[in-house]
Structure 1
């Protein structure tokens, strides 16, 4: 998910997205620990998307 897409979402949608991404990240980490996943770059992409969503949420809290 790109930053331009994240900016267009509402706060409730961002919180839902954050929960979904966090669950996905935990699932990927668990799967990768047991047996290597096909594309480990997915873990990095999800982690960075989580950071983008958290940054947008904190930016909106400060405004």
Structure 2
């Protein structure tokens, strides 16, 4: 998910998307620990998306 897409989301949508993305990240990392997944770069992509969502939420709370 790109930063421009994240900026367009409302606060409730941000929280919902963050929960979904964190769950997907946890599922993918546990699956990768058991047996290597086909594309491990997906883990990095999800981790960075979680960070982008957290950053946008924190930025909005400061304002």
TM over 0.5: yes
Give the whole-Å Cα distance in 1 for the aligned partners of 2:11 and 2:51: 15
The corresponding residue for 2:6 is 6
Query: What is the 5 A alignment of 1:28-43?
Result: 28-43=28-43
Q: Structure 2 stretches of 5 or more lacking a match?
A: none
Structure 1: where are the runs of 5+ without partners? Answer: none
Between Structure 1 and Structure 2, how many residues are aligned? 63
Structure 2 counterparts to residues 40-55 of structure 1, below 5 A? 40-55=40-55
Distance 1:55 1:3 in 2: 10
Superposed CA RMSD in Å reads 0.2
Moved over 3 A (4+): none
Which residue does 2:19 correspond to in 1?
A: 19
Alignment partner, residue 60 of structure 1? 60
TM-score scaled to structure 2, two decimals? 0.99
